[in-house]
Amino acid sequence: MKTALITGGLRGIGLGISKSLLNEEYSLALCGSREIDQVSRELHDLRSQCSKNQKIVYYRCDIGNRHDRQELVQKIQCDFHQLNLLVNNAGVTAKIRDDLLAMTEDNYDWLMKINVQGPFFLTQAIAQWMIKQKETASEFFASIINISSISATAASLNRGEYCMSKAALSMTTQLWSLRLSEYGISVYEIRPGLIQSDMTTSVAEKYSTLINDGFVPQRRWGFPEDVGRAVAMLARGDLAYSTGQVIMIDGGMMIPKL
């Protein structure tokens, strides 16, 4: 049975990814910052879609906390004994949308720990485990997917720390794809655009107007399942000769145009 770890896998984009990977017959290790009683409905809905061979386990974990990450990996090793796919999806946006001249170091540090430091060192730990699995079974299939954002290249002056974090996550994709290629472990980046989720609720009215005016060529919001389908494609190995590549899920928004 194939197993995937999805950080932030029970809300927004992460939940869309979880549903898609269930359809690909993956068992799911899911982690998030909420207590288990706060995610019981989402867990119940996912488990109702499982086959008898699939398993879903939820772990409370602050991805920016070293102890939490180490404990997470140990528990997954105990509960699943293998891991084929890591999806670094968990992330936060700026606590306060504010001018660069007013950005605080406390907000910067908090965001970077979750959006950059956490995914990097979780990838390091999981990659070490994946390499060991490869050494014992040469046919073992493993890959890593980073969920980034169009903000990796599109600057927003009122949330600069978020943009910097996504640019850094994009570079980690390139670094890990180079480092792990000798082991046959592919690393990809998915870069979503405007996705309808709890993270975009506060700006929904603004961007809905812009979308209707053609800001997004396909003239609609993206949905978590749009990202989920892209993850499923990579999880199947459909782009096995394309490690390090960026998959844009943005409705054509970032196409250069005059």
Q: How many CB atoms lie within 10 A of CB 151?
A: 21
* Residue range 140-159: mean pLDDT, rounded: 96
User: Which DSSP letter does residue 222 get?
Assistant: B
245 class by beta-carbon count within 10 Å (0-12 exposed, 13-18 middle, 19+ buried) = middle
pLDDT at 173 over 90: yes
Phi, psi of 204 (to 5 degrees): -60, -45
Mean pLDDT confidence for 65-73: 98
Give, in order, the Cα–Cα distances in Å from 91 to each of 110, 129, 130, 209, 213: 11, 23, 23, 26, 29
Rg over alpha carbons for the chain, rounded to the nearest Å, is 18
From the list 150, 148, 71, 153, the residue with the least C-alpha distance to 115 is: 148
How far is the C-alpha of 1 from the C-alpha of 165, rounded, in Å? Answer: 34
What is the chain's mean pLDDT, rounded?
A: 96
- The CATH architecture of the domain made up of 2-249 is 3-Layer(aba) Sandwich (3.40)
Domain boundaries, the chain: 2-249
Q: Is the pLDDT of residue 85 over 90?
A: yes
Q: List, in sequence order, every residue forming a beta bridge with 187; answer none if it has no partner.
A: 144
pTM score of the predicted model: 0.97
Model pLDDT for residues 178-218, shown as the tens digit of each residue: 999 999 999 999 999 999 988 788 888 999 999 999 999 99
